[in-house]
Amino acid sequence: MSKSRTSHKFLNEITNRDYIELSMSSELSCTDEKSLFEKPLASGQCFQGEISKGLHGVKYDPESWAGSLPAKQGLYDHENDRDSCGVGFICQIKGLPSHKIVSDARQLLCAMTHRGATGADSRDGDGAGVMTGIPHEFFKREAERDLGCILPEPGKYAVGNVFFNPTDVTQLQEQQATFTKIAEDLGLRVLGWRRVPTDGTILGPASKSKEPAIYQPFVVLHSNYQDGAISEDGPFDMKHFERQLYVLRKHAAHTMLVTLIA
């Protein structure tokens, strides 16, 4: 067996132990590593020397919570740490839109079931999903069929996801009108609302009772799209559009929430 394969096997063995971190292997000098290979440890025997020193010699940040986080050193800074139950990434290396990204992401999501929490009823989980870029060709087809309008080119419209109470149609319409009015005040226009089709057959009774109605508003800059069913390609400022969308999201979320509470 070559030394490189031996090294790989050795690292696999030490990373399978709860009290060894893979990063510690970088702290070994060539001499130390060689001695470890020449003198394999017996089963159940703890590692000594440099590995033990690295394990117990970590410096901690006294200003972190309970002094439990490692201190900033080298390229590491615990301020950049982010927690998540489980995240996977799929991409098309050439940056081209592809349905295969979605199908691969679905397989990845199913493979991460063990990372999600479930209640007493295994059908009720803590939620999981796939986030993608805006599928322009798909939305273009949907808008023409359901909304009777033609979407402008990518980048000149936005799509949101808004969750409503499906049992109160009056309230739903009032909330949509509130959203539309706020958009108009900001120089935006809501082309229409698309009802997102869902399949709730897998849901348990607890989550089924709280399942929302999901609608997607298609929003454009009024000065660019104008009042018709097709864009007039008027003046367009990307930064202004993004700024107004941000204000719309914040203002609408606050206003609609206050209305619901009242």
Count of all residues that appear for the chain in the document: 262
CB atoms within 10 A of CB 151: 24
Please give the Cα distance from 133 to 99 (Å, whole number).
11
Residue 84: is it exposed, middle or buried by C-beta count within 10 angstroms (0-12/13-18/19+)?
exposed
Which residue out of 85, 91, 110, 149 is catalytically annotated? 85
**Contact predicate 218/191, CB 8 Å:** yes
Please give the Cα distance from 83 to 252 (Å, whole number).
29
Please give the Cα distance from 183 to 190 (Å, whole number).
7
**Contact predicate 143/192, CB 8 Å:** yes
Angstrom distances, CA of residue 44 to CA of 11, 13, 41, 184: 16, 12, 8, 70
CB atoms within 10 A of CB 54: 18
Among this protein's residues, is 91 annotated catalytic? no
Residues in CB range of 90: below 8 A, 6 or more apart? 101, 104, 105, 108
Q: Which residues are catalytic?
A: 85
